[in-house]
Amino acid sequence: MAGVSAKSDGPMSKTRQELLQQQIRAIKNELGENDDDEDDVVSLEKKMQEAAMPPNVWKHAQRELRRLRKMQPQQPGYGTSRTYLELLAELPWKIASEEHEVDLAAAKVRLDSEHYGLSKVKKRIIEYLAVRKLKPDARGPVLCFVGPPGVGKTSLASSIAGALGRRFIRISLGGVKDEADIRGHRRTYIGSMPGRLIDGIKRVGVNNPVMLLDEIDKTGTDVRGDLASALLEVLDPEQNKTFNDHYLNVPFDVSKVVFLATANRMQSMPAPLLDRMEIIELPGYTCEEKLRIAVLHLIPRVLEQHGITNEHISIPEATVELIIQRYTREAGVRNLGRHLAALARAAAVKVAEKEQSVRLSREMQTEMIYHGAQGLGAAAAEADMEEEAMGIREKEIIPLATKPDPLLVDEVVLDTVLGPPKFDGREAAERVATPGVAVGLVWTEVGGEVLFVESTAMLGKGDLHLTGQLGDIIKESAHIALTWVRARSAELKLPVAEAGSLMKERDIHIHFPAGAVPKDGPSAGVTLVTALVSLFAKRNVRADTAMTGEMTLRGLVLPVGGIKDKILAAHRCGIRRVILPERNRKDLQEVPAAILKNMEIILAKRMEDVLHQAFEGGCPWKPASRL
């Protein structure tokens, strides 16, 4: 053993190294340890060689491998070092999908066959593909699909990947708060890992995929600056040739990746990032569009996924309309797809049960014949047995199995499978049936929504109570609204004003239902005033009218955002009159003409105009002189 421990003075000769390694192996054998770990490292090295890393990375990897060789598997750090080398070996340094020339006609057919409508979006995608065809390394902006969930952002991106003949990978950025999520943690941290980008590249296995940065607007707010700069580095063609992941610690070239992005809303995106993107908006679908999407795309897809066909289930268009109106109230078609899947499952159970009973009856019949034949006791019967069984199967069982009895989905089936309807057209009428309630339109992450503002008065000391998870801005709007109504109680000829102050010995409570959903923003201003005037005047607001707009203390109506989504939401809920700020007139261009045709849009400059339109028979208390 002394020979092993003795240090040699000069560099170790090769034969001496081998001798020592042999001795180590002999010692390990004696100790009962095998050579698995050694073999493991050898196979790792082979994998690394096959990965064809660039020379500088290869040098770095070999250094790390030498370190690993010197370590015992039980030693701390062995595991992390190994995992790191595995990552280096698995990354597609040289592997790329073959790049075909883009076939524009085929891409168009593909987009049309996979997506209904969206003609403007498809046109823009074809333009994008045309530029890539003419100049494959074009450094155009990154396409970013913006819209509520379920409108087809992800599936459009995957169609683009298909058209380019590249692999597709989606990286979810929702909830990413830390720059390290994108760029990785340094290996000195315990539990460190590569960032989502490198991890995505590893998973997809090629270095030129189409990579969808999903929910790019949902990255956390705390360290936005850093996050945005990490993302910018990824998207910047000048910098992304040598993208540096902290964990990887060697540059990786992501310049061949085709980046696309999705976001729910543009407003929350950092400006420098927005600058690098070309925004393509998908506002959501009308009921008619949803019906066509369901019939042409969702139902065939859902049936196929559940292994059933039209012979097993029949969903008439009228039923699809019922699902759209009574069970979903979304801008996209995601829940619609889920409900259709639930119906397909119910049909699948029916089919499976029927098959089982057919099989059982077939077995029983075979058995009966078998026993019958035995009863005959004749040898000939035994020979005929099989034939006879076949005969019966043909005569009786096959007609039973092929005679399909499809599950016809009607209102009753909807009720049993999906439960009682979640919405009905009468909601607005019922809720606005008492004074003090007005219908507002708000903008949320999932598109536009209809929101009811409820107010009530009670004995008290003149306080204003607000509930419904409200942010600061909406609370301020409520105070402005109350002040405005109080200041004009005489002009508005509010009956209670005659008693002196509007708030004398009274408290007002305003509630925004769906208390679990946080709400903020100034666009509820006009709705708040209308609800309060309705409360004090004891008159109902028109149930067919919804409104949106910010109001100043002097009663001017200011423009608000998300007009298109809000009008679509009103339309979905069966509301046919919408009061909007006059200065939002330009936004009406974006609303599909088919929707506008069915709606009455009223543009208001001042709060008095809104009130005049919000009540049946106008607003008799409209003051002659405007302040």
Active site residues: 523, 566
Helix axes 334-376, 379-392, angle to 10 degrees: 160
Helix (H, G, I), strand (E, B) or coil at 170: strand
Q: Where are the alpha helices (DSSP H) in 219-329?
A: 224-235, 271-275, 287-293, 299-305, 317-322
How many Å separate Cα 503 from the centre of its chain? 46
Instruction: Single out the residue of 184, 270, 337, 562 in contact with ligand ADP (rule: CB under 6 A).
Output: 337
Q: Which of residues 446 and 497 has its CB atom nearest to ligand ADP in the complex?
A: 446
| Pairwise CA distance, residues 168 & 212, whole Å | 8
Full 3-state SS string of 468-488? CCECHHHHHHHHHHHHHHHHC
Instruction: Single out the residue of 153, 185, 246, 566 in contact with ligand ADP (rule: CB under 6 A).
Output: 153
CA distances 185 to 189, 222, 584, Å, are 7, 18, 47
Smallest separation, CB 109 to ligand ADP (Å): 14
Helix axes 472-487, 525-537, angle to 10 degrees: 40
Instruction: Single out the residue of 92, 111, 125, 152 in contact with ligand ADP (rule: CB under 6 A).
Output: 152
312 sits near ligand ADP (criterion: CB under 6 A): no
Q: Which of residues 164 and 336 has its CB atom nearest to ligand ADP in the complex?
A: 336
| Pairwise CA distance, residues 414 & 434, whole Å | 32
Smallest separation, CB 352 to ligand ADP (Å): 25
Q: Which of residues 216 and 502 has its CB atom nearest to ligand ADP in the complex?
A: 216
Q: How many residues does the chain have?
A: 627
Q: How many residues bind ligand ADP (CB under 6 A)?
A: 18
User: In which element (H, E) is residue 72 found?
Assistant: none
512 sits near ligand ADP (criterion: CB under 6 A): no
User: Which CB contacts under 8 angstroms, 24+ apart, belong to 427-434?
Assistant: 427/573, 428/543, 428/544, 428/546, 428/573, 428/574, 428/575, 429/543, 431/543, 432/540, 432/541, 432/542, 432/543, 433/540, 433/543, 434/540
160 sits near ligand ADP (criterion: CB under 6 A): no
Candidate segments 153-161, 185-193, 535-543, 589-597, binder of ligand ADP by CB under 6 A = 153-161
596 touches 578 (CB < 8 A) = no
Within 8 A by CB and 6+ apart from 269, the residues are: 216, 217, 263, 277
Instruction: Single out the residue of 183, 185, 187, 297 in contact with ligand ADP (rule: CB under 6 A).
Output: 297
Within 8 A by CB and 6+ apart from 421, the residues are: 326, 327, 414, 415
Q: Which of residues 152 and 184 has its CB atom nearest to ligand ADP in the complex?
A: 152
Candidate segments 61-69, 70-78, 144-152, 544-552, binder of ligand ADP by CB under 6 A = 144-152
Residue 511's beta-bridge partner residues?
454, 467
CA-based radius of gyration for the chain: 35
Smallest separation, CB 307 to ligand ADP (Å): 18
306 sits near ligand ADP (criterion: CB under 6 A): no
Q: Which of residues 38 and 281 has its CB atom nearest to ligand ADP in the complex?
A: 281
Residue type, 384: D
Helix axes 78-90, 36-50, angle to 10 degrees: 30
Distance between first and last Cα of the chain: 104
Candidate segments 151-159, 308-316, 494-502, 614-622, binder of ligand ADP by CB under 6 A = 151-159
Q: Which of residues 204 and 446 has its CB atom nearest to ligand ADP in the complex?
A: 446
509 sits near ligand ADP (criterion: CB under 6 A): no
Closest-by-Cβ residue to ligand ADP is 152
Within 8 A by CB and 6+ apart from 361, the residues are: 397, 400
CB atoms within 10 A of CB 600: 12
335 sits near ligand ADP (criterion: CB under 6 A): no
Smallest separation, CB 598 to ligand ADP (Å): 21
Q: Which of residues 277 and 470 has its CB atom nearest to ligand ADP in the complex?
A: 277
Smallest separation, CB 117 to ligand ADP (Å): 5
Instruction: Single out the residue of 25, 202, 256, 334 in contact with ligand ADP (rule: CB under 6 A).
Output: 334
Smallest separation, CB 349 to ligand ADP (Å): 23
Each residue 551-590 as x (binds ligand ADP by CB under 6 A) or -, in order, gives ----------------------------------------
Using the 8-state DSSP alphabet, how is residue 333 labeled?
A: S
Give the DSSP letter string of 6-52: PPPSSPPPHHHHHHHHHHHHHHHHHTT--SHHHHHHHHHHHHHHHTT
Please, which of residues 107-136 interact with ligand ADP by CB under 6 A? Answer: 115-118
Each residue 227-266 as x (binds ligand ADP by CB under 6 A) or -, in order, gives -----------------------------------x----
Q: Which of residues 153 and 329 has its CB atom nearest to ligand ADP in the complex?
A: 153
Instruction: Single out the residue of 62, 80, 83, 154 in contact with ligand ADP (rule: CB under 6 A).
Output: 154
220 touches 179 (CB < 8 A) = no
161 sits near ligand ADP (criterion: CB under 6 A): no
Instruction: Single out the residue of 102, 143, 144, 149 in contact with ligand ADP (rule: CB under 6 A).
Output: 149
Instruction: Single out the residue of 23, 29, 75, 155 in contact with ligand ADP (rule: CB under 6 A).
Output: 155
Provide the binding-site residues for ligand ADP, judged by CB under 6 A. Answer: 115-118, 149-155, 262, 293, 297, 332-334, 337
